[in-house]
Amino acid sequence: MKKWLLLPAALILLVFAAACAPAADAFAVKVDGQAIPMKDYNDFYAFYEAYYTQSGYDWENLDKSMLKQNILDTLIQDELLRELAAEKKWDLQSPEVEGELDSLKAQITAFGGDYDAWLTSNHRTDEKMRVIIAFQQNISQDENAVAPEALQQYFDENAASYYTPETVTASHILLSLDDEARARQLADDLQGADLATFAEAARKESIDEGSATNGGSVGTFGRGQMVTEFEDAAFSQEVGEVSAEPVQSRYGYHIIYVQDHQPEKAGTLEENIEQVRVMAYYADLLQKARIEYGPDMAPPPVEEISFPPAEPAPGAEAGDDSAAGAEDAEADDSAAGEEEAAAEGEGAG
């Protein structure tokens, strides 16, 4: 499944909402005349406040300047795509949509998750996912959806978004510094193991609770995000292999399974044509929409946002809920614990 499908980035960012209870007819934003209730806005707030508080962030002192816009963007997007799907009469039960959903469910299941639970933890519904998938499938394949000059302009203005740094996708099992013998034995036992076998062992053996529940997955990361010992081992290890020796860091002994390793790459329009088409189409759709914010809901302009680090979990770097130790983890790391299933695109892609 293409990583740019199944958006949005706003799904996995912090959000901000008013603390007081809204009036029955209060709305957060109107999209082409359709009012989005404040309840929808506040529901997002309640979910994300709980999630980030549990993850160790100091919610009360968190800079929320930009976060208000994130949730509004998501609500606006949901409504615009709902309107478009109805207008175009897209079949949300088509084999193509079902196939994409099956791919998503398979990814979630591979990490020991459940689709319905994933929807809940990402504040999504099955219908909304079907609309998103139908939108992206239909627009990405329609060569007449966006004029060539508009495609080129969008790509030129967002070229940096299509540069891909070198990355590794990995899982790990963490054992304490007192368990070297057990770590070595487990590494030996797992030689030749596939991902499913490794994930099961991680759930049973790993002391890194943040990743163990997801089969040991620490997701996809670039250089400079993990502790040095972990990073060096992961970037030098062959894909599909389990580390022959446990890797020692200050957190303990890591047994690493590398699922993927991608070199850095500067993207081209031709390579990203489908994604650019979807993004450019949505940007135009949004520009033409009639957006009216509710009282005190219009977001102020924001030049720079800073995210204070979370209190680290035992063995984890600040800002990361995995003991693999992301030193510069972004605030938008997966709220569902399933990084690849979430979308990478802003807005609609």
For residue 107, pLDDT beyond 70: yes
For residue 131, pLDDT beyond 60: yes
C-alpha–C-alpha distance, residues 154 and 267, integer Å: 14
Q: How confident is the model at residue 48 (pLDDT cuts 50, 70, 90)?
A: confident
- Its pTM stands at 0.59
Q: How confident is the model at residue 23 (pLDDT cuts 50, 70, 90)?
A: low
Render pLDDT for 172-202 as a digit per residue (tens, 0 to 9): 999 999 999 999 999 999 999 999 999 999 9
At 68, give phi and psi (nearest 5°): -60, -40
Which domains, and CATH codes, for the chain? 9-161+268-319+331-341 (1.10.4030), 166-262 (3.10.50.40)
C-alpha–C-alpha distance, residues 132 and 100, integer Å: 11
pLDDT at 321 (0 to 100) = 41
Q: Over pLDDT 70: what percentage of the chain?
A: 78
C-alpha–C-alpha distance, residues 192 and 244, integer Å: 10
C-alpha–C-alpha distance, residues 218 and 249, integer Å: 16
C-alpha–C-alpha distance, residues 83 and 31, integer Å: 10
Q: How confident is the model at residue 3 (pLDDT cuts 50, 70, 90)?
A: very low
The Cα-based distances of 253 to 129, 181, 186 in angstroms read: 39, 10, 11
Beta-bridge partner residues of 261: 168
Render pLDDT for 53-88 as a digit per residue (tens, 0 to 9): 877 788 888 777 677 888 899 999 999 999 999 999
Do 207 and 252 touch, CB atoms closer than 8 A? yes
pLDDT at 327 (0 to 100) = 38
